[in-house]
A and B are shown apart, each in its own frame.
Chain A
Amino acid sequence: MLVSDFKTLGLIGGVLVLLAIASAVAQILARRTDSGLDRAIVDTFRRRVRSWWVLYALLAFAFFVHPTATIVLFFFISFWALREFITLTPTRPGDQRTLFWVFVVCTPAQFVLVGLKQYELYSILIPVYAFLLIPAGIALSGDAKRFLERTAKIQSGLLISVYCLSFAPALLTVDLPKLPSGFEDPYRHARLLFFFVLMTQLSDALQYAWSQIPNKHLVVPEISPTRSWEGLFGGTASAMLLGGALWWATPFQGADWWMAAVMSGVISVMAFAGGLSMSAIKRDRGVHDYGTLVEGHGGVLDRIDSICFAAPVFFHLTRLWANWVISAQSQTLS
């Protein structure tokens, strides 16, 4: 497949240029020790840039290879994130069998159903079936110690790192409004996913940047020493501006162009909620990163927390909007 339309080339090309600039800035900052900048900020930035490249390469797949490849890649990310989550969660030997089924059956099944476009199944597989079978499985082990706590932790891990994340590749399967006759746009699903991931990462970066202004007001100093009200409002406002400016790349076309800005605002708020909630979990477990136990640097879950929280909401709103437009289209046709 050769990508030839200007919208797609503009989006992936533009982000490529941005990433190249970010890498160059990171390199220059790392070389100059006299810049007066905090060393920790420079290191955070360099790690961020590296994970952006990985995400970018993953998403570029969506354009050049079959969508199934993207779904498989998201499955691996999900699987790894769940490993990190459960590794950090104290489990008891009685959870062994249940955890085995959660990893080996439930997680792949979710992504298979996404790939088969079975919305009615993948939207309830984990919140209904897994939700009910996990406590039953743990009860079968006969170990009742801290039963509700163990159950809730496995359920939360599965919901956040598998269920929520699976709605990102599910964007490739959502029904979008019909294009005017004579127009074709085979990449608009891939662009929708790309736009979504781009906005989560931009929101993170913008909120971080806005939090660097002096005399900031922290939202919850007990949980996060960096997230401030200035970061939340400034970051969300600038994400809305940037997202609105990218309306041409999204399916929100014509009179609905403003949806791109509103969606970006929603993504930014959900990204904030995701980062804050995951910080609270880490703080409770007494670690700095999900990767601390695992690697020397931050884990996968630290990189994708904003995507996990924003994906189901963005998917749901996009689907509502698309169904509304589609029903309006069919009414005008009949």
Chain B
Amino acid sequence: MAREALSSWGSDLASSLVRSSLAVLARFVSGASVRWLDCQPDTCQRVYFANHTSHLDAVVLWSALPPEVRVLTRPVAAKDYWMAGPIRRFLSCRVFNAILIDRTDIKVHRSPVDLMIGEIGHQYSIIVFPEGGRSSGPDIQEFKSGLYYLCRRRPDLELIPVYIENMNRILPRGEVLPVPLLTGITFGPPMWLEAGEPKHHFLARAREAIRRIQHLRGSS
């Protein structure tokens, strides 16, 4: 009994050590400068939604959050990628505490939105990439509707648009070797799903929120 407690304490310590050193490493490697535009870091329940151009996006965004917010924030990621191999499994389950979505097994009664809502409870925030897949250029694609269904079930969640800059130049699609350029992470003002707001209108508004930050940052 005591031994079990000790070993679980030990592995907790290991994962929290890996967690903080990985965050520091990610900050250094990405050289990320973090900006909060009309928005403050908070431990309240939030949905961080960002543009998606690289495998490293979730890690870089996650490491940009203050430590006390970071432990309460879980990236939503693809199960087939993050369960492949022991290192990825350790990172996704123990370090990032990721919510893994099985892309091959989506059913009506057990949809990704159900899973997310069950996993976050009334404590956790999540990181999502509503474009679905990684885009290859700087243009932000149309959003998938998951974000809308999530908000309709939980309209109290604060939505934070996040613009990730330059990640497509650091590790573009199909490349394995990253180039250590400097990234920028900008958190925008919170938004919510309005009562009775139509799906396409809401998704366009959310996409526009990220594009507004993109234009403010003055880069294409």
Measured between beta carbons, the chain B residues less than 8 angstroms from A242 are none
Whether B179 and A294, one on each chain, are in contact in the complex, defined by CB atoms closer than 8 angstroms, is no
Measured between beta carbons, the chain A residues less than 8 angstroms from B172 are 93, 96
| In the complex with contacts A83-B31, A91-B169, A96-B182 CB distance below 8 A | no
Whether A83 and B33, one on each chain, are in contact in the complex, defined by CB atoms closer than 8 angstroms, is no
Interface membership of B4, Cβ < 8 A: no
Residues of A within 8 A of B (CB): 79-80, 83-84, 86-87, 91, 93, 96-97, 99-100, 103-104, 293-296
Measured between beta carbons, the chain A residues less than 8 angstroms from B165 are 293
Whether B169 and A294, one on each chain, are in contact in the complex, defined by CB atoms closer than 8 angstroms, is no
Measured between beta carbons, the chain B residues less than 8 angstroms from A96 are 172, 175, 177, 179
Q: Which of A97, A100, A104, A294 contacts B182 (CB 8 A)?
A: A294
| In the complex with contacts A91-B169, A96-B172, A295-B33, A103-B180 CB distance below 8 A | yes
Contact bitstring B100-143, A, C-beta under 8 A = 1, else 0: 00000000000000000000000000000000000000000000
Interface membership of B184, Cβ < 8 A: yes
Whether B184 and A103, one on each chain, are in contact in the complex, defined by CB atoms closer than 8 angstroms, is no
Interface membership of B166, Cβ < 8 A: yes
- CA of A293 to CA of B172 in the docked complex: distance in angstroms? 20
CB nearest neighbor in A for B35: A296
Contacts A104-B177, A294-B33, A296-B33 known; list 13 others, CB within 8 Å: A79-B180, A83-B31, A83-B180, A84-B182, A93-B175, A96-B172, A100-B177, A100-B178, A103-B179, A103-B180, A293-B182, A294-B31, A295-B33
Interface membership of B181, Cβ < 8 A: yes
- Smallest CB separation, B174 vs chain A (Å): 9
- Smallest CB separation, B53 vs chain A (Å): 11
15 inter-chain pairs at a CB distance below 8 angstroms, sorted by A residue, are: A79-B180, A83-B31, A83-B180, A83-B182, A86-B179, A86-B181, A87-B166, A96-B175, A96-B177, A97-B175, A99-B179, A100-B178, A103-B179, A293-B184, A294-B184
Whether B177 and A87, one on each chain, are in contact in the complex, defined by CB atoms closer than 8 angstroms, is no
CB-based closest 10 A-B pairs: A100-B177, A99-B179, A87-B182, A87-B181, A294-B182, A93-B172, A295-B33, A83-B182, A294-B33, A96-B175
Measured between beta carbons, the chain A residues less than 8 angstroms from B166 are 87
CB nearest neighbor in A for B168: A93
Measured between beta carbons, the chain A residues less than 8 angstroms from B184 are 293-294
- CA of A86 to CA of B166 in the docked complex: distance in angstroms? 11
CB nearest neighbor in B for A287: B218
CB nearest neighbor in A for B32: A294
Whether B179 and A100, one on each chain, are in contact in the complex, defined by CB atoms closer than 8 angstroms, is yes
- CA of A86 to CA of B182 in the docked complex: distance in angstroms? 9
Whether B181 and A83, one on each chain, are in contact in the complex, defined by CB atoms closer than 8 angstroms, is yes
- CA of A97 to CA of B177 in the docked complex: distance in angstroms? 7
- CA of A86 to CA of B175 in the docked complex: distance in angstroms? 18
Measured between beta carbons, the chain A residues less than 8 angstroms from B177 are 96-97, 100, 104
- CA of A84 to CA of B31 in the docked complex: distance in angstroms? 10
Measured between beta carbons, the chain B residues less than 8 angstroms from A93 are 172, 175
- CA of A295 to CA of B180 in the docked complex: distance in angstroms? 16
Complex interface residues of chain B between 49 and 89 (CB less than 8 A to chain A):
none
Give the interface centre of A83, A84, A99, A293 by most chain B CB atoms within 10 Å. Answer: A293
Whether A293 and B219, one on each chain, are in contact in the complex, defined by CB atoms closer than 8 angstroms, is yes
- CA of A91 to CA of B177 in the docked complex: distance in angstroms? 15
- Smallest CB separation, B180 vs chain A (Å): 6
Complex interface residues of chain B between 174 and 199 (CB less than 8 A to chain A):
175, 177-182, 184
Measured between beta carbons, the chain B residues less than 8 angstroms from A294 are 31, 33, 182, 184
- Smallest CB separation, B34 vs chain A (Å): 10
Measured between beta carbons, the chain B residues less than 8 angstroms from A100 are 177-179
- CA of A84 to CA of B33 in the docked complex: distance in angstroms? 12
Measured between beta carbons, the chain A residues less than 8 angstroms from B179 are 86, 96, 99-100, 103
CB nearest neighbor in B for A82: B180
Measured between beta carbons, the chain B residues less than 8 angstroms from A296 are 33
- Smallest CB separation, B32 vs chain A (Å): 9
- CA of A96 to CA of B181 in the docked complex: distance in angstroms? 11
Measured between beta carbons, the chain A residues less than 8 angstroms from B178 are 100
- CA of A97 to CA of B174 in the docked complex: distance in angstroms? 12
- CA of A91 to CA of B180 in the docked complex: distance in angstroms? 13
- Smallest CB separation, A123 vs chain B (Å): 26
- CA of A79 to CA of B182 in the docked complex: distance in angstroms? 11
CB nearest neighbor in A for B173: A93
- CA of A83 to CA of B175 in the docked complex: distance in angstroms? 19
